[in-house]
Chains A and B, each alone.
Chain A
Amino acid sequence: MTDCLRYAPMIGAREGELAPDEARALAAHLAGCPACRAREAAVRETDGLVAEALLARASRRDFGPFVDGVMDRIAARRARSPLDRMLRWVGGHRRSAGLAAAVPVLAALALVVYVRTDRPARELALFELDTVGNVSIVLRTEDGPLVLLGDGEPEDS
């Protein structure tokens, strides 16, 4: 059985597919092994039937529309302009594209913006934008930072 494990997979090899020493060893094994000769006969009996079955099934199908379908697909892809292709790509990646576009905006808004106010020159206003879009104004005063809420009233930060 050990020899059969080695040689059974070689059964069905075509001319030149086995190395010469493999082919000689297989032939010697087949000469002395009825089980492997039976395996070889089984491979011969069924050889080519899969192809015949599949091609027979393919031949039963009407291929009239096939080539037109191929050409229609090609025409559809040709018709897409580069802009269409870009829009489709963006559409397919809308979420990631939206996030990517938001990154520089958020980064820009997150920068410290100094503005002048009607308060003394040493009081500076700082706009801060958090990730959910809430804006706060922080006043830098000599007494420390103050956060201005929606009604504009200062409150200790």
Chain B
Amino acid sequence: MEADDLALVSRATAGDDEAFRALVVRYQRKVYAVALGIVKDPDLAWDVAQEAFVRVHGHLAEFKGESAFSTWVFRIATHLAIDAVRRERTSRKDDVDELRDEDLSGAGEGILATPLGNDPQANLLRRELLGKIQEALDTLPEKHRTILVLREVEGLSYEDLAERLGIHKGTVMSRLFHARKKMQAALREYAEIAPGTGGDAAEGEE
């Protein structure tokens, strides 16, 4: 049976490098995935993920176990990734959180029903779809990528997102709305051009 995180942290804090290695191996892919979702560049994400674990190691003695070890690692990785992006990003004017009437137009019809249905090539299509999702994610502004990644990969609640990002719960909801809408728009383009999907994916949806 695998040692739990707290036991490994306790051993690592006492100087057991093998225990720390076990923690790294346990969370490395997910931390990398979070970093990749935010910074986009695979090599930078690799660097950010490694640095996150180095920072964690440097502060192991301060970890009191009040939150999950994984939460702590992800929090550090998120901040490092956001810092990395912000060092290079140029802000965009349309990068707003408020919701306007025009934001509600054209959204909501079925997007992926056909590509993910009973097609015999479903697996192939799914792999292609996941690639398209990655591409679509890469087109989003940093704050929309970040909130989607934190919501979906880390699974943070509205409250946790508000705390992590330093914004109000209402802003969390509207920012998520914008992020999803942009993702859906990008995926709709894919669904409309994917073989056999045609333009009828929306039909049958209320």
Contact = CB atoms under 8 A, between A and B. Distances in A.
B196 interface: no
A57 interface: yes
B180 interface: yes
Is chain A's binding surface mostly helix, strand, loop or mixed? helix
A66 B134 contact: no
Contacts of A40: 108
Given A13-B173, A54-B33, A46 B24 contact: no
Contacts of A14: 157
B46 A56 contact: no
A48 B110 contact: no
Contacts of A41: 108, 110, 205-206
Interface stretch (A70-78, A117-125, A126-134, A135-143): A70-78
B37 A54 contact: yes
Contacts of B110: 38, 41-42, 45
A21 interface: no
A43 B36 contact: no
Nearest to A39: B108
Contact of B180 (A12, A34, A48, A74): A12
Contacts of A48: 152
Contacts of B158: 13, 17
B28 interface: yes
A53 B58 contact: no
A5 B51 CA distance: 41
Interface in B68-122: 99-101, 104, 107-113, 116
B65 interface: no
Given A10-B173, A35-B108, A58 B36 contact: yes
Interface of A: 1, 4-5, 8-14, 17, 34-43, 45-59, 61, 63, 66-67, 69-71, 73-74, 77
21 contacts: A1-B104, A4-B104, A9-B173, A14-B157, A17-B157, A36-B108, A38-B108, A38-B110, A38-B206, A42-B108, A50-B152, A54-B153, A55-B153, A58-B29, A58-B32, A58-B33, A67-B24, A70-B53, A71-B17, A71-B21, A77-B54
